[in-house]
Homo-oligomer: A and B are copies of this chain.
Amino acid sequence: MAKSVFYHAGCPVCVSAEHDIVNLIGADNVELVHLGEDRNRIAEAEKAGVKSVPALLTPSGNVLHLNFGASMAEVKG
């Protein structure tokens, strides 16, 4: 199975959602990307349709926005 990508920014809401996602779909099935640290991946996330974090990009290309942590504007700010 192709990997999902979990985009986050280290906020408490993000960390909580990350634990839930890893428990649900397995650590081997998801790549974790911290946009605050990997800032060169912000453009990729936005292109994929990520509007806020935490968000999960599925293998089929859909974006699931989870419990609201921060907007992409806040991540870039």
Task: State whether B67 touches A65 (Cβ < 8 A).
Answer: yes
Contact of A20 with B67 in the complex, beta carbons under 8 Å: no
Number of chain copies forming the complex: 2
Interface residue count on the A side (C-beta < 8 Å): 20
User: Which residues of chain A (1-30) have a CB below 8 Å from chain B?
Assistant: 4, 16-17, 20-21, 23-25, 29
Interface class of chain A by DSSP: mixed
Mark interface residues in A38-77 (1 if CB within 8 Å of B CB, else 0).
Answer: 0000000000000000001011101111111000000000
Residue in B16, B23, B60 whose CB lies within 8 Å of A20: B60
Q: Bound state CA distance, A68 and B62, in angstroms?
A: 14
Cβ-defined contact, B67 with A16, below 8 A: no
Residue of B nearest to A67 (CB): B65
